[in-house]
């Protein structure tokens, strides 16, 4: 009775862990550094050791857990519990994560990619308010996402929820994927800076942002949003353009999925309501009436905890 969940959020620099109730309440949290040496071969043993160590510490036994869920970078085979191509972990070859963790801990293990797991976290315990239909967009170094439809993560043939590669400007900026005009090239942290540099070049007026670009300062996405909040003319234009693309992507995602909420998270979303209101304005412009009046755009609420919480929710499937 009253068994617990373990959530693991595996990242390129840190591995976060949490023990949660079945209702998603975090009871314990800890983290370790990610050791990516030797082709990342220490990562899974470190995870196993850290879990076992903390179970000892809290005087808990494997039988007291429903399961472990984990979010990971790379390409995940959800059925088999394997990962391949997680380059920031030095995982180039196939990793049998599920088999190893289950063997090493004696606890059932489930796996999904990091963006999907963050989406689950926000849907379950964050801005998604446990609604059955939620789309999640994370604006970080890249733009990722995850989609929950009828209460379940969508995988399609594996790459569903790749909202960063929704094309918002055919023929636009070149993306790392090889295409031009992906949302990621405009709305990621680096994308925002790219738009700023590009628009600064053609901008003639007075602007602190333009001065920074021209001076060769280390311009950041945060700087662009901060200056826009202070009515810097160029920064306002940059934010407007970024939010227009985000609003368009949200509208098109919604025409396809009709979610209750689109939740926006990640570093760029730290700009808060200032970002949200402008995205929502364009969303309402581009979405057709039924969608416009029912789907709501919200900011993510869980911050860095979305990963462990969503990961833990993966383990709920082992519940009897």
Question: Minimum Å distance from CB 149 to a second copy?
Answer: 5
- Give the single-character DSSP code of 232: -
> Using an 8 Å Cβ cutoff, are 212 and 220 in contact?
no
> Which of these ranges, 12-20, 95-103, 204-212, 248-256, lies near a second copy under the rule CB under 8 A?
248-256
| Count of residues in contact with a second copy, rule CB under 8 A | 45
Interior/surface letters 238-268, b for 16+ CB within 10 angstroms, e for the rest: bbebbbbbbbbbbbbbbeebebbbbbbbbeb
For the chain, the farthest-separated pair of C-alpha atoms sits apart, in whole angstroms, at 68
Please give the residues from 143 up to 162 whose contact with a second copy meets the rule CB under 8 A: 147, 149-150, 152, 154-162
Please give the residues from 267 up to 286 whose contact with a second copy meets the rule CB under 8 A: 285-286
Nearest in space to 5 (alpha carbons), one of 310, 319, 320, 315: 315
What x-and-dash track marks residues 167-206 binding a second copy by CB under 8 A?
x--x----x-xxx-xx------------------------
Which member of 219, 291, 311, 314 binds a second copy (CB under 8 A)?
291
* Cα–Cα dist 77/44, whole Å: 16
Question: Minimum Å distance from CB 241 to a second copy?
Answer: 12
Question: Minimum Å distance from CB 170 to a second copy?
Answer: 6
**Site residues, a second copy (CB under 8 A):** 133, 147, 149-150, 152, 154-163, 165-167, 170, 175, 177-179, 181-182, 244, 248, 251-253, 255-260, 285-291, 294-295
């Amino acid at each position: 009775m009253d068994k617990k969940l373990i959530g693991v959020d595996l990242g390129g620099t840190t591995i976060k862990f949490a023990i949660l109730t079945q209702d998603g309440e975090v009871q314990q949290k800890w983290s370790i550094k990610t050791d990516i040496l030797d082709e990342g071969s220490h990562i899974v043993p470190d995870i196993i050791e850290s879990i076992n160590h903390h179970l000892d510490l809290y005087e808990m036994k494997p039988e007291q857990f429903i399961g472990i869920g984990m979010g990971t970078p790379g390409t995940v085979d959800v059925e088999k519990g394997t990962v391949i191509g997680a380059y920031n972990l030095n995982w180039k070859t196939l990793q049998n994560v599920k088999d190893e963790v289950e063997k090493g801990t004696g606890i059932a293990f489930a796996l999904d990619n990091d963006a999907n797991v963050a989406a689950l976290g926000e849907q379950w315990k964050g801005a998604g308010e446990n609604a059955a239909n939620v789309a999640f967009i994370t604006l970080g170094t890249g733009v990722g996402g995850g989609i929950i439809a009828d209460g379940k993560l969508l995988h399609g043939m594996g790459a569903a929820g790749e909202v960063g590669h929704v094309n918002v400007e055919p023929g636009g900026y070149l993306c790392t994927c090889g295409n031009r005009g992906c949302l990621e090239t405009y709305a990621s942290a680096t994308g925002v800076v790219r738009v700023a540099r590009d628009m600064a070049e053609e901008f003639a007026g007075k602007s602190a942002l333009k001065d920074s670009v021209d001076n060769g300062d280390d311009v950041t996405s945060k700087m662009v949003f901060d200056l826009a909040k202070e009515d810097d003319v160029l920064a306002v234009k940059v934010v407007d353009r970024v939010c227009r693309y985000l609003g368009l992507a949200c509208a098109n995602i919604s025409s396809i999925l009709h979610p209750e909420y689109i939740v926006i998270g990640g570093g760029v979303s730290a700009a808060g309501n200032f970002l949200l209101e402008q995205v929502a304005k364009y969303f309402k412009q581009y979405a057709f009436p039924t969608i416009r009046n029912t789907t709501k755009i919200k900011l993510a609420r869980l911050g860095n905890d979305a990963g462990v919480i969503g990961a833990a929710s993966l383990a709920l499937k082992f519940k009897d």
